Structure 1
Amino acid sequence: MLNCRTLFLSDVHLGCKDCQADYLLAFLQQCRADTIYLLGDIVDLWAMQKQVHWHQQQNKLLRCLLDKAEQGCRLVYIPGNHDEAFRLYAGKQFGNISVQLRASHTTVQGKRLLLLHGDEFDKEVNFGRWHAWLGDNLYDLLLFLNRWYNRLRRLSGGGYFSLAAYIKSRVPGAQKAIARYRAAAVAKARRAGFDGIVCGHIHHPEIRLEQGIIYCNDGDWIDSCTALAEHHDGSLALYHCSGQAEQIALLDQSTASSKAGLKVA
């Protein structure tokens, strides 16, 4: 069981046909955290405007989060672009759940982290309308391939493997867009006087030191199935959570020269 001080989750996309709610539910049932930050796109209102894909595991996932809040876990919900309608409730408190446009978090080691979804960096990453359209459609194709590939793996007794993330990691254009997003996020944290930033949005899990700024992306629950955790010693770790939680990257903030990137699990 993972016992951590803080858990960061984003891009669950409840209501979307590619949502991996069963993996997240299994992970949360084996995880204890003092605070959980939900960094946007938890519910996919965009997808549900076209067609709703909602099953019992998604109800159980919401119930699990509410139960944790009732048991004393602090939940902070920062809506993203796919659930931006909830931004109207920013500043509201619902029991142990608060809704905010952005937040700050201080680790055990005194590092101040800026928390946001990350869609505000789109204008700095976008290569134009044609590239945006092409990227969206290619990602939809990757998710389609990922869905059927893993169905075949399950039938043959294999575990989950993110084919979408594997292919995306080998497309130069995708890597260039990720680098531009990371640079924009790091610049935002530096301008605002933070030691680091935690975000989601681009579905690319990663933790690293970039120009002295801690950059963390907690990934998603569409293809990568990852979560970011702060351990009780203040170190930050990425967990791949399909089947069982597996630590894939670690950043020890007490060592200024430490660097960590996503390892293929």
Structure 2
Amino acid sequence: MTSAQLIKPSRKQRVRTLWISDVHLGTRDCQAEHLSAFLKRYQADKVYLVGDIIDGWKLRSGVYWPQAHSNVIRRLLTMSKRGTEVVYVTGNHDEFLRRYSKLILGNIHLVDEAEHLTADGRRLLVIHGDQFDVITRYHRWLAFLGDSAYEFTLTLNRWLNHWRRRYGYGYWSLSAYLKHKVKSAVNFISDFEQAITHECAKRGFDGVVCGHIHHAEIRPMGDVEYMNCGDWVESCTALIEHIDGHIELYRLADDQARQAQQLAAAAEPVA
């Protein structure tokens, strides 16, 4: 058994809130199987889908929709049926849904942004974040060009991880590594974070939960707590609010490493 194989929990863990973003269903690089496994582990009061869940940009050029992608939708519908409130916050790749904002279907709400109150009393703005990306807002052609280059990097990433799995290694993101080695990308992330936290402070929020830039992080920025869900195409990350209001950053790679250690410990002979 490799570290990429998940240990199934004995029962679902009760949590207050899950945030996931940038799943990009409809693309070949979507890590739908990992996301389905993640969602099965939790019983959540509320799930926020923080934009770019369905990749409308990619679906325009051709339909790619394997069963694993349907399984993610089915899992979310099942959670909704069992009492979880699902809030779908629109993003730029699923902007075709923005014309239906404020639509309510049973336990599913479609919005452009939301306000979340944590168990410990913090007011959080939940928004995808493309509104604070200058390229997406004012240079749409450049955003499409950048998306194509990013897709090429993800293709390399997919093949690299295919061979890593063959040799028993866990998931590793080439695209995330390259992104944080390129100064311009680092500057873009910094500008994005400053813009979105400035807006939060101006509107009186204690923090923000966003996505868009595929860079998961929790850190204070001035008086505002900045929290980014990350994505499920390269980093496989999410945010989890526990019953006491504490918010944790989940990383698949860390989870796999921890499980690999548990397997190794279980395999050791008893002295």
On whether the aligned pair clears a TM of 0.5, the verdict is yes
Please list the CA deviations of residues 76-132 of structure 1 after superposition, one character each: whole Å capped at 9, or x if unmatched: 111111111111221111010011111100111111000111110112898978975
Does the Cα contact within 8 Å between 2:135 and 2:143 map onto a contact in 1? Answer: no
* TM-score of the aligned structures, taking structure 1 as reference length: 0.87
Q: Can you give the 5+ residue segments of structure 1 that lack an aligned partner in the other structure?
A: 248-265
Aligned length: 247
Structure 1 runs of 4+ with >4 Å offset: 124-135, 242-247
One of 58, 69, 89 as aligned partner of 1:47: 58
Measured after TM superposition, the shift of residue 203 of structure 1 is 0.6
Q: Does 1:117 align with 2:128?
A: yes
Unaligned runs of 5+ residues in structure 2 are 1-11, 259-271
Residue 10 (structure 1) aligned with residue 27 (structure 2): no
Instruction: Identify, as 1 or 2, the structure richer in helix.
Output: 2
Query: Whose radius of gyration is greater, 1 or 2?
Result: 2
> Where does residue 171 of structure 1 map in the other structure?
182
1:89 counterpart = 2:84: no
Query: Residue type of the partner of 1:188?
Result: E
Distance in 2 of aligned mates of 1:143 and 1:235? 32
Q: Percent identity?
A: 46
- Distance of aligned partners of 1:69 and 1:134 in 2 relative to their CA distance in 1, 3 Å threshold: closer
Match of 2:34 among 12, 18, 23: 23
Higher normalized contact order (CA 8 Å, seq sep 6+, divided by chain length): 2
1:175-214 equivalent positions in 2, closer than 5 A:
175-214=186-225
Gap change, CA 1:76 and 1:208, over 3 Å in 2: same
Give, as a single letter, the amino acid of the residue that structure 1 aligns with 2:56. Answer: L
Partner of 1:229: 240
What is the one-letter code of the residue matched to 2:117? T
Are the aligned partners of 1:239 and 1:245 in contact in 2 as well (CA < 8 Å)? no
TM-score by length of 2: 0.85
**Aligned Cα RMSD in Å?**
2.2
Provide, for residues 11-57 of structure 1, a one-character-per-residue CA deviation record: whole Å limited to 9, x for no partner: 11000111110000010011121100111111001101112221111
Say yes or no: does 1:58 pair with 2:108: no
The question of whether the paired residues in 1 share the 8 Å contact of 2:170 and 2:257 is answered with: no
Q: Is 1:148 aligned with 2:159?
A: yes
Give 3-state SS (helix, strand or coil) of 1:228's partner: strand
Cα distance between partner residues in 2 of 1:58 and 1:73: 20
